[in-house]
Structure 1
Amino acid sequence: MGTAQSQQQAAPGAFAAFARFVLCGGGVGLASSFAVTALASRIPWVLANALITVLSTLLATELHARFTFGAGGRATWRQHAQSAGSAAAAYAVTCAAMFALQQLVAAPGAVLEQVVYLSASALAGVARFAVLRLVVFARNRSQAAAAVRTARSLPHPVPVPVTMARTSAPAGPGVLCRAA
């Protein structure tokens, strides 16, 4: 029961998880932008971006498993695959938004492009957070909640009389208890 409760406590609430999601995802995203730039000086930018995207998605999934959603350990391969799928969907959303902008506005300015891109990214990020929280990392939370529910549904144990053992040690935390 103690383990289930500690796992349940390790899973943060929605607001705390979202703040951690933004912190982890933003941190990895920022580091990735520098890594792509550095790597692109040695290999073509498209390859550098693809490689860094794969590595940053793996890293972010590990951070989300351990820190954001309190899954209690390393991400599984299933979680990595699902996370990669949600990242690919988010990428598709931003690409579709930019494509739509190009179709609707003949020569969009840099500010409009940034507004559209950042809006699509924010929308995709919120959707990705929901998918990760409710699907990818939900199993661990539901197992912990089920364990707590099971522990709560067990009948209360019959009280056992406890007597204090007489020792020469002073009373306090060192006093031994035993069942009579």
Structure 2
Amino acid sequence: MTSFVRFVVLGGTVGLAASAAVTALATLVPWALANAAVTVASTVLATELHARFTFAGTRSTWRQQLQSAGSAVAAYAVTSAAMAALHACVSAPGVLLAQGVYLSAAALAGLGRFLVLRLVVFAAARTAPTVTDE
């Protein structure tokens, strides 16, 4: 439960910052490109934070970053599909509606990421024996 709370706090903070960044960047470039760029940057940051504070207690490895990137691709697909569906249903959604849809999709994707990170990416780090000096 503690790791889930840490995941939510760290991931939620990064997610809120990412949401604001996507909104701002989308005024300059197409939304899909803004979402892709922000997803990459926020995934690297979140994976490092989760490695240090949520799951492993150490810096992330390249392998963990790459595995985490796979779950980020799925998160990107979920948020992109949600936004595409919104724009298909509402011709000119307001910022609050768009943020609500994006954050809801990101929360769903975040739950999936938690499971992948806990059960796959950082599983070995959690079960590795601790070396002690005796």
The answer to whether the superposition gives a TM-score over 0.5 is yes
Task: Compare 52-61 and 72-81 and name the one that shifted more.
Answer: 52-61
The CA deviation string for residues 99-138 of structure 1, in whole angstroms up to 9 with x for no partner, is: 23333x2547435544433322211111111111111111
| CA RMSD after TM alignment | 3.4
Aligned residues: 128
Relative distance call for 1:102 and 1:30 in structure 2 (3 A) is closer
Shift of 1:142: 2.7
The CA deviation string for residues 4-58 of structure 1, in whole angstroms up to 9 with x for no partner, is: xxxxxxxxxxx211111122123333445666789x6xxx546776555433322
Q: Quick one: which amino acid aligns to residue 61 of structure 1?
A: T
Shift of 1:66: 0.9
The CA deviation string for residues 33-92 of structure 1, in whole angstroms up to 9 with x for no partner, is: 666789x6xxx54677655543332221111011011x1311111110111111121111
Q: TM-score, normalised by structure 1?
A: 0.56
Relative distance call for 1:118 and 1:139 in structure 2 (3 A) is same
Q: Which residue of 2 aligns with 1:20?
A: 6
d(CA) in 1 for partners of 2:90, 2:34: 30
Q: Quick one: which amino acid aligns to residue 45 of structure 2?
A: L
d(CA) in 2 for partners of 1:124, 1:132: 12
8 Å CA contact retained: 2:78, 2:109: yes
* Structure with larger RCO (C-alpha < 8 A, sep 6+): 2
Aligned: 1:56 with 2:42: yes
8 Å CA contact retained: 1:90, 1:124: yes
Relative distance call for 1:87 and 1:117 in structure 2 (3 A) is same
Q: Which residue of 1 aligns with 2:83?
A: 98
Q: Which residue of 2 aligns with 1:120?
A: 105
Consecutive unaligned residues of structure 2, counting only runs of 5 or more, are none
Consecutive unaligned residues of structure 1, counting only runs of 5 or more, are 1-14, 148-180
User: What is the correspondence of 1:27-66 to structure 2 with a 5 Å cutoff?
Assistant: 27-32=13-18, 45=29, 50-66=36-52
Q: 1:84 aligns with which of 46, 69, 80?
A: 69
Relative distance call for 1:75 and 1:106 in structure 2 (3 A) is closer
SS at match of 2:128: helix
d(CA) in 1 for partners of 2:23, 2:85: 27
